[in-house]
Amino acid sequence: MQETKCKCGGNESARKFEKVCHILDSHSREKNKLIPILQEIQAEYRYLPEEVMTFVATCLDLSPARVYGVASFYANFALKPKGKHVVHVCDGTACHVKGSEDIKDALQKRLGLTDDKSTTEDMLFTLEPVSCLGACGLAPVITIDNKVYGQLTPADAVRLIDEVIAKEAE
Amino acid sequence: MENNEFVIVDNREILIENELNLLELIRKANIELPTFCYHSDLSVYGACRLCIVDIEGMGIVTSCSTVPTAGMKVKTNTAELRKMRKMYLELLLANHHQSCTTCLKSDSCKLQDLASRMGVNEVRFKMSEVKMKIDDSCPSIVRDPNKCILCGDCVRACHEIQGIGAIDFINRGSGTTVAPAFNKELKEVDCVYCGLCASVCPTGAITVKQEIDNVWQAINDEKKIVVAQIAPAVRVAIGELFGFDAGILTTGKMVAALKMIGFDKVFDTSFAADLTVFEETNEFLKRRESGKKLPQFTSCCPGWVKYVEQYYSDLLDNLSSCKSPQQMFGAIAKDTLPESYGIDRADLFVVSIMPCSAKKFEAKRPEFNKDGQSDVDAVITTQELGRMIKQAGIQFANILPESLDMPLGFKTGAGVIFGTSGGVSEAVLRYASEKITGIKSDSPDFVEVRGNEGIHVKTVKIGGVELKLAIVSGLKNAGKIAQQVRNGECDYDFIEVMACPGGCVSGAGQPVSSDSKARNLRKQGLYQADKTLQLHKSQDNPYVNKCYQDHLGQVNGPEAHRLLHTKYRSRKRFNDSSFSVFNNPVNEKLQVCICVGTSCYLRGSQKLMQKLIEYVRDNGLEDKVDVRATFCFENCDKGPSVKVGQIEHSKCTYEMLVAEMNKQLSKIVV
Ligand code: SF4
Ligand code: SF4
Ligand code: FES
């Protein structure tokens, strides 16, 4: 049996289930409110667990395939659990020209990630490429938990990550 | 002449007659505009853009999504239109994994056909390379997303006609594909294997799984006696693969071809359909007498059966317990033929030739397997048989007809009309009427139950008895009726269901035809075949009667039950999954699982869960109890289903749940 284990205490996950029910109720369980419902659920879980999507499909009388179709269409919905810290590497034109590939490679190497595996085993980091952060003047740019760092070398980027890791270890 | 009810299509006046869109009107004018995403039975999508036309004052528009209005001046074939269509095709081909020579769809591929019609000789765009996984997980359908052109026909068919929505578009941009929920495999989701998606797919992206190789292997095996059963709908369609019109009966040629291929005996599924009529009608009349388990649903269609198991398992008792004709044939063949041929049961190889993809799944169900051997060893479709005939180089059009073998090849007309929607009901009525009145009748027909609607309701008077029937095809329609039954909103006696619109004649295993005309011709072909046979009522089939005398004993008796009946079960729509509602690090906690699957949800399992959470919290039991929401214990007819520790409870109330939980908790504490 496949299970989604929650790392937090029991009350936390019960609260989440009740929250899902509450979110559904607050939208009167209407099919055409699927997107806001998913958004609010994602705010709770930080991603959209399969089982929860199936439950939502049941409650809204939609097919799970349709719910998944909608969820996978929008880049904003996360279908896999994300790490505690989310790192975005910009791969827009300006950043690409200024060597964002090398930064990505360096970070992937540091964190033991690949293009297909974007979250670390310990759930501490998720590394994702994004297509333009709108800070081209600072290229190449990365963000760590939405904070922007610009004009980086691969070594700079790795150092930033090391700082976060050090802080976590405290 | 007045001009205002006409459209001018390429300088000719074409009358507007309720056409819903310009495309239909243009086709009426005998101009076959190319399309991928248009199907007259489905909603309009307007994505492929091949149906473009040039309208004076409007410019270039898609005709499938334009309403014809009086005085419109339309050009369908300008140089610009031709150039654009060609480019659209090239773009589609650039994204298409071209393996035409080895593709199953090669002989009926719309993409190939249009590419050659539009004169696409080369593809100027760079071919995309990403290779996606082929899904051949289920027994009936194969998905090869690399060949998908994203026309969406399959998605709409599954959603709009079958009401299931097992597949949908996922991802976006260049990553878009069509897939089941969570990108799972088909066998893990709620697909019922009807194959409608494969029928409408213009390319080889969704196809019916092939079993030809197994059949050749058995034929080449000296030790094996290989017998065939031919389903009713096949005989009026296989000719289409060899230049005959739809609906032309070619049973005799088919028998000859099967013998040439190397089959030892060729029998008729219609024999088993006659047998089904005996069993199913008597079952029905008994239920009517007792007033229990009514209405009775038919159980011949495996797509419908899986649908009931998944969505209406509370109505499983209403399903006839009869096996389908295919499986009745398999059971009788495996039980009687080895002895008469003097061989081991293991050396008899039964091949079904079916119009259907779901029959492949049915034959592999554990219910129809005895000591590791299936009653039916292989199921091939009408199309697959056509392919075998071609592989063997047989000139189907020229060969002389031969006759079916006895005794399992003898049938009445009632067994033949089983292949069309309404046919099963009529066959049952032909039996029931004589049984009810006790009078032999010379005019067996019940034309009032024939019809083309997806839901056809009819009250039939026999003697003093009124029988209320519903004849349904398409599972979305079936779902509507099942919901009425569940809600107690109707008083039908007998409900016939076939998953494919129009019944087995338009099954996914049949030759691909782009219009509903072929469906009707095949239907007429079956009624014609009934007319040309000597016997029209199953009860008159001497060989079925003999089969009861020699093997089965009483109709509905114990031996008949052993061989001809079965029991279906509730089935979860999705693979196992559950999520934790209370979960904590303490090891010795009591697990309480509450099903939130569809049936249990509808029966209030979510409220149950919420109340339990409150109870656990109010009583400070958080470290002792682990509450989980799970999907489906396959016990849906008795929901809400709950499991406390190892103990399962059906129809669980809040009080029962709390009592059971406290009982088990007290044991843990002591
Ligand atoms: S086989 Fe039928 S149920 Fe399954 S995806 Fe295709 S249309 Fe839907
Ligand atoms: S699988 Fe076939 S029918 Fe479905 S979207 Fe792709 S090409 Fe169209
Ligand atoms: S048929 Fe009109 S856009 Fe595809």
**pLDDT (tens digit per residue) in B544-592:** 999 999 999 999 999 999 999 999 988 877 764 555 554 444 456 788 8
Give the residue from B12, B46, B77 where a domain finishes.
Answer: B77
Q: Does A35 touch chain B (CB under 8 A)?
A: no
Q: Cβ-count burial of A28 within 10 angstroms (0-12 exposed, 13-18 middle, 19+ buried)?
A: exposed
**Cα–Cα dist B186/B198, whole Å:** 13
The chain A residue lying nearest B182, using CA atoms, is A68
The chain A residue lying nearest B184, using CA atoms, is A65
Give pLDDT tens digits for B184-202. 999 999 999 999 999 999 9
Question: Which pLDDT score, from 0 to 100, does residue B128 have?
Answer: 64
In a mutational test of the B interface, the residue from A7, A19, A59, A72 whose CB has the highest number of chain B CBs within 10 Å is: A72
Question: Which pLDDT score, from 0 to 100, does residue B581 have?
Answer: 56
Question: Which pLDDT score, from 0 to 100, does residue B577 have?
Answer: 52
Question: Which pLDDT score, from 0 to 100, does residue B578 have?
Answer: 56
| Whether B139 and B267 share a structural domain | no
User: The domain spanning residue B603 has which CATH number?
Assistant: 3.40.30.10
Cβ pair B167:A65 closer than 8 A:
yes
| Whether B622 and B644 share a structural domain | yes
Whether residue B434 lies inside any domain: the answer is yes
Strand ranges for chain A from DSSP E: 3-4, 85-90, 125-130, 142-144, 147-149
Q: pLDDT exceeding 90 applies to what percent of chain B?
A: 69
Q: What is the DSSP string of B427-462?
A: HHHHHHHHHHH----S----GGG---SSEEEEEEEE
User: The domain spanning residue B153 has which CATH number?
Assistant: 3.30.70.20
Count structural domains, chain B: 4
CA neighbor of B208 nearest in space, from B357, B377, B352, B388: B357
Cβ pair A73:B166 closer than 8 A:
no
Smallest Cβ distance to B583: which of A1, A5, A67? A5
| Whether B185 and B241 share a structural domain | no
Give pLDDT tens digits for B57-73. 999 999 999 999 999 99
Q: Which atom of ligand 1 is nearest to the CA of B180?
A: 5
Give me ligand 3 centre to Cα B62, in Å.
Answer: 6
Whether residue B199 lies inside any domain: the answer is yes
Q: Which of B1-15, B127-141, B304-318, B362-376 has the lowest mean pLDDT?
A: B1-15
Whether residue B571 lies inside any domain: the answer is no
Count other C-beta atoms under 10 Å from residue B496's C-beta: 27
**Cα–Cα dist B74/B9, whole Å:** 5
Give the residue from B208, B236, B268 where a domain finishes.
Answer: B208
Cβ pair A14:B617 closer than 8 A:
yes
Among protein residues, the one whose CA lies closest to atom 4 of ligand 1: B191
| Whether B196 and B232 share a structural domain | no
Residues in A closer than 8 angstroms to B580, CB to CB, are: 3-6, 13
Q: Which of B136, B194, B361, B498 to mutate to test the pocket of ligand 1 (most atoms within 8 A of CB)?
A: B194
Question: Which pLDDT score, from 0 to 100, does residue B670 have?
Answer: 43
Domains of chain A in sequence order: 10-73 (1.10.10), 85-169 (3.40.30.10)
The chain A residue lying nearest B584, using CA atoms, is A10
Count other C-beta atoms under 10 Å from residue B578's C-beta: 20
pLDDT at residue A2 tops 50: no
| Whether B44 and B95 share a structural domain | no
Task: For residue B147, give the ligand nearest its CA.
Answer: 2
- pLDDT band, very low/low/confident/very high, at B604 (cuts 50, 70, 90): confident
| Whether B58 and B109 share a structural domain | no
Given a contact cutoff of 8 angstroms between Cβ atoms, the answer to whether B445 and B426 are in contact is yes
- B494: distance to nearest CA of chain A, Å? 28
| Whether B384 and B491 share a structural domain | yes
Residues in A closer than 8 angstroms to B584, CB to CB, are: 9-10
Q: What is the 3-state secondary structure (H, E, C) of B571-608?
A: CCCCCCCEEECCCCCCCCCEEEEEECCHHHHHCCHHHH
Better-scored residue on pLDDT, B516 or A73: A73
Among protein residues, the one whose CA lies closest to atom 4 of ligand 2: B154
Whether residue B112 lies inside any domain: the answer is yes
Bridge partners, B591 (sequence order):
B626
B552: which 2 tokens?
Answer: 């089965």
Given a contact cutoff of 8 angstroms between Cβ atoms, the answer to whether B648 and B641 are in contact is yes
The answer, yes or no, to whether any atom of ligand 1 lies below 6 A from the CB of B141, is: yes
Q: What is the mean pLDDT of chain B?
A: 90
CA neighbor of B417 nearest in space, from B497, B505, B356, B487: B505
The answer, yes or no, to whether any atom of ligand 1 lies below 6 A from the CB of B194, is: yes
Residues in A closer than 8 angstroms to B172, CB to CB, are: 72-75
Better-scored residue on pLDDT, B497 or A94: B497
Q: What is the 3-state secondary structure (H, E, C) of A86-134?
A: EEEEECCHHHHHCCHHHHHHHHHHHHCCCCCCCECCCCCEEEEEECCCC
Give me ligand 3 centre to Cα B89, in Å.
Answer: 12
Better-scored residue on pLDDT, B611 or B411: B411
Q: pLDDT exceeding 70 applies to what percent of chain B?
A: 95
Smallest Cβ distance to B170: which of A51, A58, A68? A68
Q: Which of B154, B168, B196, B199 to mutate to test the pocket of ligand 2 (most atoms within 8 A of CB)?
A: B154
Q: Which of B49, B61, B92, B110 to mutate to test the pocket of ligand 3 (most atoms within 8 A of CB)?
A: B49
| Whether B487 and B553 share a structural domain | yes
Tell me which residues of B are annotated as active site.
280, 283, 300, 320, 359, 362, 367, 504
Whether residue B83 lies inside any domain: the answer is no
- A156: distance to nearest CA of chain B, Å? 33
Ligand 2 environment, Cβ below 6 A: B 148-154, 178, 200-203, 205-206
Mean pLDDT across the stretch B1-9?
74
Question: Which pLDDT score, from 0 to 100, does residue B648 have?
Answer: 82
Interfacial A residues in 52-111 facing B (CB < 8 Å): 52-55, 57-59, 62-69, 72-75
User: The domain spanning residue B45 has which CATH number?
Assistant: 3.10.20.740
Task: For residue B155, give the ligand nearest its CA.
Answer: 2
**Cα–Cα dist B639/B606, whole Å:** 12
Give the residue from B154, B187, B208 where a domain finishes.
Answer: B208
Mean pLDDT across the stretch A12-17?
70
Residues in A closer than 8 angstroms to B165, CB to CB, are: 62-63, 65-66
| Whether B172 and B270 share a structural domain | no
- A13: distance to nearest CA of chain B, Å? 5
| Whether B544 and B396 share a structural domain | yes
Give pLDDT tens digits for B418-432. 999 999 999 999 999
Range of the domain at B494: 212-564
| Whether B179 and B51 share a structural domain | no
Better-scored residue on pLDDT, B502 or B97: B502
Task: For residue B200, give the ligand nearest its CA.
Answer: 2
The chain A residue lying nearest B173, using CA atoms, is A73
Give pLDDT tens digits for B216-254. 999 999 999 999 999 999 999 999 999 999 999 999 999
Give me ligand 3 centre to Cα B18, in Å.
Answer: 19
Residues in B closer than 8 angstroms to A57, CB to CB, are: 181
Q: How many CB pairs under 8 A join A and B?
A: 118
Question: Which pLDDT score, from 0 to 100, does residue A12 have?
Answer: 61
Give pLDDT tens digits for B657-668. 888 888 888 776
| Whether B193 and B335 share a structural domain | no
The chain B residue lying nearest A77, using CA atoms, is B171
Q: Does A4 touch chain B (CB under 8 A)?
A: yes
Q: Which atom of ligand 2 is nearest to the CA of B36?
A: 8
- B592: distance to nearest CA of chain A, Å? 13
pLDDT at residue B4 tops 70: no
The chain B residue lying nearest A73, using CA atoms, is B171
Whether residue B570 lies inside any domain: the answer is no
